[in-house]
Amino acid sequence: MIQYSVHPCALGFVLVAASERGLCAVSLGSDPDELVRSLQDEYPQAKPANGEIKQMADCVIRLIEDPTTPFDLPLDLRGTAFQQLVWQALREIPPGETATYSEIARRIGAPGAARAVGQACAENRLAVVIPCHRAIRSDGGLSGYRWGLDRKRALLDLEASTIRL
In the structure, what pLDDT confidence band is assigned to residue 52 with cuts at 50, 70 and 90?
A: confident
Count of CB atoms situated within 10 Å of the CB of 70: 7
The rounded distance, in Å, linking the Cα atoms of 97 and 95 is: 5
Per residue in 129-156, pLDDT tens? 999 999 999 998 898 888 889 999 999 9
Q: Is the pLDDT of residue 77 over 70?
A: yes
Angle at 51 between CA 46 and CA 55, to 5 degrees: 100
Q: Label each residue of the chain as H, E or C.
A: CCEEEEEEECCEEEEEEECCCCEEEEEEECCHHHHHHHHHHHCCCCEECCHHHHHHHHHHHHHHHCCCCCCCCCECCCCCHHHHHHHHHHHCCCCCCCEEHHHHHHHCCCCCCHHHHHHHHHCCCECCCCCHHHEECCCCCCCCCCCCHHHHHHHHHHHHHHHHC
Per residue in 3-47, pLDDT tens? 999 999 999 999 999 999 999 999 999 999 999 999 999 999 999
Of the residues 9, 24, 121, 132, only one is catalytic, namely 132
Q: Would you state the pLDDT for residue 149?
A: 92
Does the annotation mark 59 as catalytic? no
Average pLDDT for 75-99? 95
Highest mean pLDDT among 44-58, 61-75, 77-91, 134-148: 77-91
Domains and CATH numbers, the chain: 3-65 (3.30.160.70), 81-164 (1.10.10.10)
Q: Would you state the pLDDT for residue 164?
A: 62
In the structure, what pLDDT confidence band is assigned to residue 58 with cuts at 50, 70 and 90?
A: very high
Task: Tell me the pLDDT of the chain averaged across its residues.
Answer: 93
The whole-model pTM stands at: 0.91
